[in-house]
Amino acid sequence: MAETITQPETLLSPEFMHRLDRLDVMSRKILRGRMQGERRSKKKGQSVEFADYRSYVVGDDLRFIDWNLYARLDKLFLRLFMEEEDLSVSVVMDVTKSMDYGDPNKLHYAKRVAAALGYIGLTHYNRVNLYTFADTVTDMALGMRGRRPIPRMLSFIQDQQPIEGEHVSGNLAVVCKRLAMLQRQPGIIVLLSDFFDKGDMADALRYLGGDKHDVYAIQLLSPQEVDPAKGHILGDLRLRDIEDGDIAEVSVSPALIKRYKTNLQAYCQHVREQCLKRGVAYMISETDVPFETLVLKYLRQRGLLG
């Protein structure tokens, strides 16, 4: 009988979790883990499934000698077993104040994506790690595996709140450097953020780029950020940066909104280009895209799920 999973209704419904059961997290390369998992490897190791024999050589572990074969052939042979693969899946969620914005809210949307990826990883016996960040890594839940930690994983995500503090802003370079130190095992890393970071994007991604990890950057924007007219922003305004408190007095006109859209598009293109230079898969989504469509369609198209 299948185990009943209790979860916050606002993140994943039972019906949607049933649909997620058909998916798995995909890696663009075969990754070897330190725990024995679900993915079969061509390497010979010390698992439970017999694979082959080879001749004994001095120094081999005597526990794996087949003594029955020795009695028949008068030669020493070692039993070899099929090693299995374990995939590390790390979901990294931005909890800066800028994420707590928009309708639909960016942070809540990111939570649902993180919950879906965590659920898929756990149901397929991957090792799942969750991180949140602002100016540094702020919280983590590590080494979860199997269905049993699903309620704990969902509660961890649901409980995350935007980091308060007038001068607490994102620092992606510090975060990526910290992640590189924490993530010593190769695996998949998924960054969920609006990437509204005043630092050097190229400097940040260099810590995660390369062949060690499969990195996915998912940029989340609210409809009001993509088109300020949807937020009814017009006239003379005094604007405060939600993260670092900087003040700007502006007169919002149709011409200014047009220039804003051009600058936003250029910035998103910059983020995309920096990701591609570092071998990081990039995608962008507005939060009014149905969450189910993002997970079941777009993440599959990008190769993260299959």
DSSP code per residue over 211-249: SSEEEEEEEEE-HHHH-GGGGT--EEEEEE-TTT--EEE
Same domain for 45 and 134, yes or no, is no
pLDDT at 110: 98
* 48 in the same domain as 183: no
218 and 186 in a common domain: yes
Cα 110 to Cα 222: distance, rounded to the nearest angstrom: 11
Residue 79 has which token pair?
């039993």
* CA separation for the pair 82, 65 (Å, rounded): 16
What was the pLDDT predicted at 188?
A: 94
> Is residue 110 located within the same domain as residue 174?
yes
What is the domain extent for residue 182?
Answer: 14-29+86-301
Residues 6+ apart with CB under 8 A from 214: 27, 28, 29, 187, 188, 189, 281
What's the burial of 22, exposed, middle or buried (CB within 10 Å: 0-12/13-18/19+)?
Answer: exposed
Check if the beta carbon of residue 130 is closer than 8 Å to that of residue 118. yes
pLDDT of residue 2: 41
The answer on 51 and 125 residing in a single domain is no
What does the pLDDT read at residue 248?
67
pLDDT at residue 162, rounded to an integer = 93
Q: Residue 231 has what pLDDT? A: 67
Domain contains 9: no
Query: What is the per-residue pLDDT for 6?
Result: 42
Give the total number of structural domains in the chain: 2
Task: Provide the pLDDT for residue 52.
Answer: 65
Query: Would strands 88-94 and 187-193 be described as parallel, antiparallel, or unpaired?
Result: parallel
Residues with pLDDT less than 50, the chain: 1-8, 30-38, 40-47, 82-84
Instruction: Please indicate, yes or no, if residue 3 is contained in any of the structural domains.
Output: no
- Please check whether residues 79 and 189 belong to one and the same domain: no
150 found inside a domain: yes
pTM higher than 0.85: no
* End-of-domain residue from the set 84, 99, 115: 84
